[in-house]
Amino acid sequence: MSALRPSPRSGILEIQAYVPGKSAVPGGRKIYKLSSNETPLGPSPLAIEAYRGLADALEIYPDGSATRLREAIATRYGLDPARIVCGNGSDDILHLLAAAYVGPGDEVVFTEHGFLVYRIATLAAGGRPIVVAETNYTADVDAILAHVTPRTKIVFLANPNNPTGTYLPFDEVKRLHAGLPSDVILVLDGAYAEYVRRNDYAEGLELVATSENVVMTRTFSKIHGLANLRIGWCYAPADICDVLNRTRGPFNLNGAAIEAGIAALADTAHLEKSVAHNSKWIAWLEHELTALGLSVTPSVGNFILIHFPSVAGKSAAEADAFLIANGIVVRDVKSYGLPNSLRMTVGSEEANRLVVETLRAFLSKSAAHA
């Protein structure tokens, strides 16, 4: 007997669709959007100019290989452009990797507070997500290795991790790689790598260059401020690049994205300004929020994870509602297994100060009604 309607492959209906951070509040008032880790400085003026320069050529297909962008990335980081693959955001690369290397019954390992797309890409490919507990909101190398089996195909590691803001030192990343079988791909997701200012951190370029099973992914959505154009890329072994180029869309990066990305890479002054702003205000926010009695996980990204007590009047959900009522939109992270926490992007000076004052008022209000 035939089915009454088309049915998706097993695992697809287990996917909880990705829900991005909110971008609006009721009433149409001015909002401070701090829910999606967007840079408050916006993109480089050079990138904006390059984007506008494509307005008279919209009928022309882009370069399907994003050759000039790959060459610009290679020049910036000292890489082989033949080992760079670009995508429609770095999550496009994550999906391509899962689709190419994971099948029914295969396992993909990632940590409990890792990027939600890891689970989505795994299930979409027919694989089985293996979720590993973290230690103090940080990936645990020994725990990850303990969950690797002969069925493991990929280990996803966000470094730094979103939404916790924690990271693994490079020695720990190398120890993780050394413990993996040679046929397991280690994916180092470095979406926030440019923000890190720690001497023991490295993005993973060296490991990719000297290994056959390590892929590093990056994005232009964060520090370069080009989230609307969806530019991602990876540096990978030649064999993996060959697989990705066989399976990706033929024009998976548009022409405006290519030109804006090239211009953004050239504007190092804008990048340095973004790093300086973030370093100053993330330290200030951690200090001020801790002084309010809140717990904050130290972050090396452009966001912080704020923990609230699970008591009536002071919960994360009530704080979120209070912030929204005051025009501030942060990220509810219940879907990441953090029901008593909120993630806040480091915003402009005005936005950062407003968040602290609003949370001060929220906590005072809660105390008055205790």
* Residue written as token pair 């020695």: 171
Please say which residue of 267, 285, 303 terminates a domain: 267
In a domain, 142, yes or no: yes
Q: Is the pLDDT of residue 369 over 70?
A: no
17 and 92 share one domain = no
Please say which residue of 214, 232, 267 terminates a domain: 267
Q: Is the pLDDT of residue 368 over 60?
A: no
In a domain, 364, yes or no: yes
204 and 261 share one domain = yes
Residues 240 and 99: their CA atoms lie apart, in Å, by 12
> In the chain, pLDDT over 70 holds for what percent of residues?
94
Residues 84 and 62: their CA atoms lie apart, in Å, by 17
Q: Is the pLDDT of residue 115 over 60?
A: yes
Q: Is the pTM value of this prediction over 0.85? A: yes
Q: Which of these, 186, 234, 230, 222, lies nearest to 84 by C-alpha position?
A: 234
pLDDT per position as a tens digit, 74-87: 999 999 999 999 99
- pLDDT at 12 (0 to 100): 74
Lowest model confidence (mean pLDDT) among 220-224, 301-305, 308-312 = 308-312
pLDDT per position as a tens digit, 15-46: 777 566 666 656 666 899 999 999 999 999 99
In a domain, 6, yes or no: no
How far is the first Cα of the chain from the last one, in angstroms, to the nearest whole number?
A: 62
Please say which residue of 267, 302, 325 terminates a domain: 267
Total domains, the chain: 2
255 and 354 share one domain = no
Q: Going by DSSP bridges, is the β-strand pair 295-297/303-307 parallel, antiparallel, or unpaired?
A: antiparallel
Rounded to the nearest integer, the mean pLDDT of the chain is 94
Residue 345 · residue 36 · CB < 8 Å: yes
In a domain, 2, yes or no: no
The Cα-based distances of 231 to 12, 73, 92 in angstroms read 26, 12, 9
214 and 86 share one domain = yes
Residues 307 and 14: their CA atoms lie apart, in Å, by 29
Domain residue limits at 132: 45-267
> In the chain, pLDDT over 90 holds for what percent of residues?
89
303 and 355 share one domain = yes
Which residue type is seen at 129?
P
- pLDDT at 9 (0 to 100): 75
Encode the chain in three state secondary structure: CCCCCCCCCCCHHHCCCCCCCCCCCCCCCCCEECCCCCCCCCCCHHHHHHHHCCHHHCCCCCCCCCHHHHHHHHHHHCCCHHHEEEECCHHHHHHHHHHHHCCCCCEEEEECCCCHHHHHHHHHCCCEEEEECCECCECCHHHHHHCCCCCEEEEEEECCCCCCCCCCCHHHHHHHHHHCCCCCEEEEECCCHHHCCCCCCCCCHHHHHCCCCEEEEEECCCCCCCHHHCCEEEECCHHHHHHHHHHCCCCCCCHHHHHHHHHHHHCHHHHHHHHHHHHHHHHHHHHHHHHCCCEEECCCCCEEEEECCCCCCCCHHHHHHHHHHCCEECEECHHHCCCCEEEEECCCHHHHHHHHHHHHHHHHHHHHCC
Q: Kindly indicate the confidence band of residue 344, based on its pLDDT and cuts at 50, 70 and 90.
A: very high
Q: Is the pLDDT of residue 310 over 90?
A: no
Average of pLDDT values for 315-342? 96
Q: Is the pLDDT of residue 194 over 90?
A: yes
- pLDDT at 8 (0 to 100): 74
242 and 290 share one domain = no
128 and 17 share one domain = no
